[in-house]
Amino acid sequence: MNQSVQEPSIASHPDRLLPTETGARNVARELLADVENLPIISPHGHVPASLFVDDAAFPDPTALLITPDHYVTRLIHSSGIPLHDLGVGNPSVDSREAWRRFAKAWPLFEGTASGYWLRGEFEHIFDIPGSLIDLLPSGGGDAVYDALTTKLTDPEFRPRQLFTGFGLEVLATTDDPLDSLGDHATLAADPTFSGRVLPTFRPDAYLNPSQHGWQERVSRLMDEAAEGLTGFAGYLRALENRRAHFIEHGAVSADHGVRTPRTVRLEAQEAASLFSRAQSGLATAADQELFEAHMLYEMARMSVEDGLVMTLHPGSFRNHHTPSLERYGPDTGHDIPIAINYTEGIRPILQHFGDAEGFHLVLFTLDETVLSREIAPMAGFYPSVFIGAPWWFLDAPDAMLRFRSAITETAGFSRTSGFIDDTRAFCSIPARHDASRRIEASFLARLVTEHRISEERAHELIVDIVDRAPRRVFKL
Amino acid sequence: MNQSVQEPSIASHPDRLLPTETGARNVARELLADVENLPIISPHGHVPASLFVDDAAFPDPTALLITPDHYVTRLIHSSGIPLHDLGVGNPSVDSREAWRRFAKAWPLFEGTASGYWLRGEFEHIFDIPGSLIDLLPSGGGDAVYDALTTKLTDPEFRPRQLFTGFGLEVLATTDDPLDSLGDHATLAADPTFSGRVLPTFRPDAYLNPSQHGWQERVSRLMDEAAEGLTGFAGYLRALENRRAHFIEHGAVSADHGVRTPRTVRLEAQEAASLFSRAQSGLATAADQELFEAHMLYEMARMSVEDGLVMTLHPGSFRNHHTPSLERYGPDTGHDIPIAINYTEGIRPILQHFGDAEGFHLVLFTLDETVLSREIAPMAGFYPSVFIGAPWWFLDAPDAMLRFRSAITETAGFSRTSGFIDDTRAFCSIPARHDASRRIEASFLARLVTEHRISEERAHELIVDIVDRAPRRVFKL
Amino acid sequence: MNQSVQEPSIASHPDRLLPTETGARNVARELLADVENLPIISPHGHVPASLFVDDAAFPDPTALLITPDHYVTRLIHSSGIPLHDLGVGNPSVDSREAWRRFAKAWPLFEGTASGYWLRGEFEHIFDIPGSLIDLLPSGGGDAVYDALTTKLTDPEFRPRQLFTGFGLEVLATTDDPLDSLGDHATLAADPTFSGRVLPTFRPDAYLNPSQHGWQERVSRLMDEAAEGLTGFAGYLRALENRRAHFIEHGAVSADHGVRTPRTVRLEAQEAASLFSRAQSGLATAADQELFEAHMLYEMARMSVEDGLVMTLHPGSFRNHHTPSLERYGPDTGHDIPIAINYTEGIRPILQHFGDAEGFHLVLFTLDETVLSREIAPMAGFYPSVFIGAPWWFLDAPDAMLRFRSAITETAGFSRTSGFIDDTRAFCSIPARHDASRRIEASFLARLVTEHRISEERAHELIVDIVDRAPRRVFKL
């Protein structure tokens, strides 16, 4: 086993992430072959549409792969490197110096999901050989940096070319309700660009009065879209109108990132009076929370009416480290999960809309305990409930296997959303989907070799999981 | 691997559910052989005793296998089929039409516990070949329906014959405290029926004042068995008397299905005054909860005194979807688990009775997190505490393996209850026990091949787990 | 597979705890070889320093291996044997009789962590053959007892000789803040003893006003070390001084065993006034809790200032069974875990000291759910946070594998503490570290055979995990 020089690299090994045991591995290989080259469908993520409108060359390796990827910067930060030395909140950072810090920190990523994705990006997108990647911490940083820099000047490595090269068919962005969606319109109208880039309605900042600037945002929202109506009625109308605007521009879903999945259905009058209090800045913290919980209910109601798939991403304590928030802004690596209660939290939604025609509610979690206990049992009863793919810290090989193990025996395969990459890191998309497909093949292969499903059926299931599920659940 | 035509069917493969790796599989096969044909002991379940008193032919395949099995109807419902189209709350449903809906929905069950049990029932009880089962969604529904219908007219497929054919030795039912237990008496007195069908005392509806009809039920209870005593003393006396009645009819356990395992020990006077308030309809929600928590304590006290094994099934949010409850009644597939706290919840019971002579308290959970954290540590200290087998959504292969992994290193094998099928679906009993035995063999085989227990000892352990544990824990 | 007579015993099998599958097993063997004979570093535990000062022969097998080990007595107790029959709180117990009770109960330990350690102790320290161990429950108890008794008279089996024989390099004790640490000084000054025995500052009983005797203890503390200062300022000064005393005697860490990880940062005046109330016995339960939560913050502050590594061991409901506490005292097997919330609980510490230079905060848990959800995400961002090794009920093979699986994909390998044995049972130390090293090898081997890390890198990682991590994290 020590002739690793002759072995394919980690990122290129045909059996990477597949089971060790020969029987299961052989089945997994055959299952993987069915889906390895299917187009990528990405119904939820954070790549901006402007990337493909501008289609500009990426500036440099650090700005492309390190600075904006909080999965990467956070782990380097844990080793004692300040975020600004990696370019976070620091446009004047020396790109090569920042890269060298990353290169030295490369061993930190062994065994992590980010490490897997980065290897995939280096090797499969940018043709950096695995042997050179292995030299990153021991002086290879500059060589990798230079190789990447050269590639980035090549038109082949512009966003649109990569979009095609990645085999992307659908890519959803995540957008502010007041976004004009001009970039999406531009792309849709452009005959030279064949990919589907769809907006996603993300209204958190307009629903949660405790968020800084809520009053101003709501004023702008109502000015823009309340059709002259005032008060709570105007607010609801404006939200409905912006959703309609999103739908006109191809949106298929509305996404909600809340701390807890608590939902409440208030009487109209109470909701209206909470809204007034919040607008006047008189709402208590409890008022604000109650209002947000009611608005989650209203969002479900609107989804039932306008057909936008409702995706729920609760359970993240955002901006855990205030000093980092103040210095670097949000989404800089210190959002930390907490335990959640879906069963009681979303009951008001399910009481009213659990079997509403066409309603799709996709539940994501950072708290694995709710998978077997709450989400799978709900998805195995309510026609509206779908199980969101492993999210964020859980979109990694072992966690994805735990996910399938936790849900399948209760809810089967028909109730899952298909893989979601949820990433800001455009170049990590192929590696993320690759990992997911390999893990799906591994899980199914085990069921086959344990005689729990037939091999024939496994071949049908893997195509369904990878390709048909996201189309079905996200109405694509 | 593509010659699946020559392979035995999924349900009949001798290695089904056993580990893939050859060494472990071989050990598992030998361990399984020790217990595969042992009699079935079912110390907790929901099959009614009347089934064996009447011994009537089952009406039709749908009424036998689909309509009453909420594991089955819930998953079909999740695909958008209304429950009444499957016969739930709808006696006039066309049985064959409902069956066809099930047949089309058959692929939903791939990888689920229910799918495994149904395949077992079809193939091992009703001799439907696996190749025909595989045709269920593609036009084979009628052929299966017809084959089943024919079988059901055969006297061999009457309940008593099946009871014998299943190898059932003990079957516990679950009964209302005011049940006369006449059916149990009839069966016990019948020389032509050799099985033991034991009642189980299930007093939830008499202990929880928030349940609809509590006052009337308690009045009837006291009229029946309070011996003229009134108030709280009469209520306790009546419960004690009904427990005695159950014990006279062979009951070995009392079962408690509560939302949370919270227990409280009130002073007698406070409990009595809560009881009065509840009887007068003046109890607040908090009063009702407190009273129920105290009554759980009283039930433990009675179990210490009369020897009935106390089984606790907390953590289900019953009737999550009110519209379905109103239309179809309880137990129709929308009971959804919640997180529980056993360590603090049952402490008052263990403070007083944790080492009481002969007290057996069997703790079940739908929240897997309490297994390694709370149940195993308590069972590994308190002589009264036993670890209930994986329950409900967790009585499936992967979940059963997670269960053993979570508890064994702390509590060993001696503190577990033995398998409990907890089912209303009579014909699923053999398949459920078959799955459990295979998983126990798989788990032990892994410990053997990892040199953690000797193969000799594994052979002893599997017999203990499957056969002696339920007899010992349930005092059979 | 039935020639177990020719097989090596369980405790001596070279492949014990390694994966069953041949490919992974071969890699694991090679990885294990790298670390199998490295010195043992034990940065947290409960063996007293006096053991090595006195260096007396152990009295008898029961007093050495059974009575003081609550892992062992608790499980025997669960089978119905009173603790005093095992010598707990009962110095006059007949040692041989107690041993016979243990011998009969030996099968309870099959599959448990304690069983593994005991086999290791018997076989590797005391040369009891595995075949004789297997006879413990069937009459071999006396033979084992006699063999052990003979060994214990041999000077080779005195504590200092064992220390050397175990390959111990560093052993940390756990000590009361008012301990003079004379034993540690004696050992450090003794040229004939080369091991490092380091004290650990454990101030719980001085921080939590709800603990019996808090007022008296605090008075003594302040008399000893407040330098004449009074009130809260004197209390803090005294704590700081005692920490300094510990540091002078080689301490590298301060350990905190709290029920919950809740931390609060109060204004100085509020803290001072709570302190006064607590001293006067006027503090409510809420006051006491709040004060303790603030003191956890103060301990972090002091660790930042004086460099002691802060280890946190929350989540145990101590003395769950009051009658056993009253009869036998604390640490007698009925501390039961509860769920915890680290993300919100320790946020005040991390807000202020999360990236403080040199601050090391090691988070342990009995609640596995926080591993992937809270601890790994925090350790993957904050330079101060390290992931404590699997603790107490979780320091067992399957639990250790679950631990690595839960944390690695988010936090990699660089953020873990290295193995901690945390034991009072001196002779179990080698077996505990042996199990840990085998599991680390097994985990890494799987990543290698799944092509997730290279074999070369795995060889580096295992040495880092076993040897460098504890030195780095505990500043040894």
**Cβ partners under 8 Å of residue C386, min gap 6:** C360, C361, C362, C363, C379, C415, C416, C417, C473
List chain C domain ranges.
Answer: 57-157, 201-473
Phi, psi of C423 (to 5 degrees): -115, 150
Adjacency order of strands within the sheet including B361-363: B253-256, B309-312, B361-363, B385-387
- Give the per-residue pLDDT at C8: 86
SS (H, E, C) A453-469: CCHHHHHHHHHHHHHHH
Chain A partners of B367 at a C-beta cutoff of 8 Å?
369, 373
What ipTM does the predicted assembly reach?
A: 0.97
Among B15, B339, B398, beta carbon nearest to A341: B339
Chain C partners of A339 at a C-beta cutoff of 8 Å?
339, 341, 369, 373
- Is the CB of C414 less than 8 angstroms away from the CB of A13? no
Band (pLDDT 50/70/90 cuts) for residue C336 is very high
C268-279 and C285-306 are packed helices; what angle lies between their axes, rounded to 10 degrees? 120
DSSP 8-state secondary structure symbol assigned to residue B335: -
Phi, psi of C254 (to 5 degrees): -120, 135
Mean pLDDT of B209-218: 96
Chain A partners of C365 at a C-beta cutoff of 8 Å?
none
- Give the per-residue pLDDT at C6: 58
Mean pLDDT of A352-365: 98
Mean pLDDT of B118-135: 96
Chain C partners of A112 at a C-beta cutoff of 8 Å?
408-412
Q: pLDDT averaged over chain C?
A: 96
- Give the per-residue pLDDT at B6: 58
Residue B211 pLDDT more than 60? yes
Q: What is the C-alpha separation between A143 and B162, in angstroms, rounded?
A: 74
Band (pLDDT 50/70/90 cuts) for residue C7 is confident
Mean pLDDT of B433-449: 98
Chain B partners of C4 at a C-beta cutoff of 8 Å?
454-456
What CATH architecture is A200-417?
Alpha-Beta Barrel (3.20)
Residue A1 pLDDT more than 60? no
Mean pLDDT of A156-185: 98
Candidates C368, C440, C451, C455: best to mutate against A (most CBs of A within 10 A) is: C451
Among A112, A368, A369, beta carbon nearest to C412: A112
From B316's Cα to the closest Cα of chain A, the distance in A is: 10
Residue A5 pLDDT more than 80? no
Band (pLDDT 50/70/90 cuts) for residue B2 is very low
Residue type, A129: P
Chain C partners of B449 at a C-beta cutoff of 8 Å?
20
The 3-state DSSP class for residue B96 equals: helix
Determine contact, residues A246/A236, Cβ cutoff 8 Å: no
Candidates B410, B456, B459: best to mutate against C (most CBs of C within 10 A) is: B410
Which has the closest alpha carbon to C79: B473, B352, A151? B473
What residues does B42 pair with on adjacent strands? B171
Handedness of CA A303, A308, A314, A320 (dihedral sign): negative
Mean pLDDT of A139-161: 97
Determine contact, residues B169/B41, Cβ cutoff 8 Å: yes
Q: What is the C-alpha separation between A68 and A53, in angstroms, rounded?
A: 19
- Give the per-residue pLDDT at B4: 44
Q: What is the pLDDT of residues C216-264, one digit of tens each?
A: 999 999 999 999 999 999 999 999 999 999 999 999 999 999 999 999 9
Q: What is the CATH number of domain A57-155?
A: 1.10.2020.10
Which has the closest alpha carbon to A203: A358, A308, A62, A48? A308
Q: Please give the share of chain A, as a percent, with pLDDT higher than 70.
A: 99
Q: In terms of CA atoms, which chain C residue is nearest residue B451?
A: C16
Give the domain C201-473 fold. TIM Barrel (3.20.20)
Q: Tell me whether strands B316-317 and B336-337 are parallel, antiparallel or unpaired.
A: antiparallel
Among C15, C336, C367, beta carbon nearest to B451: C15
Distance set, CA A359 to CA A407, C118, C426 (Å): 21, 58, 61
Domain B160-473 has CATH 3.30.390.50: no
Superfamily of domain C57-157: uronate isomerase, domain 2, chain A (1.10.2020.10)
Residue B380, CA atoms < 13 Å, CB-side half-sphere: 35
C30, two tokens: 């090679």
Among C339, C354, C446, beta carbon nearest to A20: C446
- Is the CB of A383 less than 8 angstroms away from the CB of B10? no
Q: What is the C-alpha separation between A44 and A470, in angstroms, rounded?
A: 10
Distance set, CA A193 to CA A198, A430, B373, C439 (Å): 13, 19, 54, 52
- Give the per-residue pLDDT at A6: 58
Give the domain B57-154 fold. uronate isomerase, domain 2, chain A (1.10.2020)
What residues does A311 pair with on adjacent strands? A255, A362
- Give the per-residue pLDDT at C3: 42
Chain B partners of A415 at a C-beta cutoff of 8 Å?
78
Mean pLDDT of C149-170: 97
- Give the per-residue pLDDT at B8: 86
Band (pLDDT 50/70/90 cuts) for residue A188 is very high
- Give the per-residue pLDDT at A8: 86
Among C21, C344, C410, beta carbon nearest to A317: C344
From B388's Cα to the closest Cα of chain A, the distance in A is: 17
- Give the per-residue pLDDT at A4: 44
Q: Please give the share of chain A, as a percent, with pLDDT higher than 90.
A: 98
Q: What is the pLDDT of residues A108-147, one digit of tens each?
A: 999 999 999 999 999 999 999 999 999 999 999 999 999 9
**Cβ partners under 8 Å of residue B261, min gap 6:** B296, B312, B314, B315, B340, B341, B342, B345, B346, B363
Residue C4 pLDDT more than 50? no
Q: What is the C-alpha separation between B18 and B2, in angstroms, rounded?
A: 20
- Is the CB of C373 less than 8 angstroms away from the CB of A396? no
The per-type count for chain B, helices as H runs and strands as E runs, is 24, 9
Which has the closest alpha carbon to C356: A321, B265, A445? A321
